[in-house]
Amino acid sequence: MIRPIPVAPLDTAELHDFLAEADLTTAGLDARGARYWIVRGERGEIVGSTGFERSPSAPDALIRSVAVASAVRSCGLGSELARFALDAARAAGVERAWLFSRRSGPFWQKLGFERASTSSLAAALGETTQVALFRQTGQLDREVAWKRVVHIR
């Protein structure tokens, strides 16, 4: 069982570097409505991360920053981190989780995600940092969106 710890202000620069190394978006780590966690290895280094950015106007969240260091891949840590973010989002009242992933579709499908349109994701989460950035840079049209229900009233 993993024990993710909330990202503290002093962890932000290290998390930024970890996510950049994993080729993930680093914008918005301090965004309002964003929550991130890390897992540290035996030497204190970040070996995993996860998080979500919540919509300020709807019960939706963008799952973000699910990453695992190459030295500890293929041991289930990524799945545990993804489930942790989904559970945390559910506890925060989120009903629908969305994410962008061009490379890891099969991984997310195993966790119950289905492919969705990027326009639907952008409509639900247009106020989040990552969606705003992707719109501004034109990257939104190149992304693959995924969605799943996490909370049913």
| pLDDT score, position 143 | 93
The neighbour count for residue 62, using CB atoms within 10 Å, is: 26
CATH topology of domain 5-149: Aminopeptidase (3.40.630)
State phi, psi for 70 to the nearest 5 degrees: -60, -30
Say whether pLDDT at 37 is over 90: yes
| pLDDT score, position 20 | 94
**pTM reported for the whole predicted model:** 0.92
Give the mean pLDDT of 122-138.
93
Domain ranges of the chain: 5-149
| pLDDT score, position 152 | 57
Q: What region does 20 belong to: left with phi over 0, alpha with psi -120 to 50, or beta?
A: alpha
Q: Mean of the per-residue pLDDT values for the chain?
A: 92
pLDDT band for position 56 (cuts 50, 70, 90): confident
Residue 9 has what DSSP assignment?
G
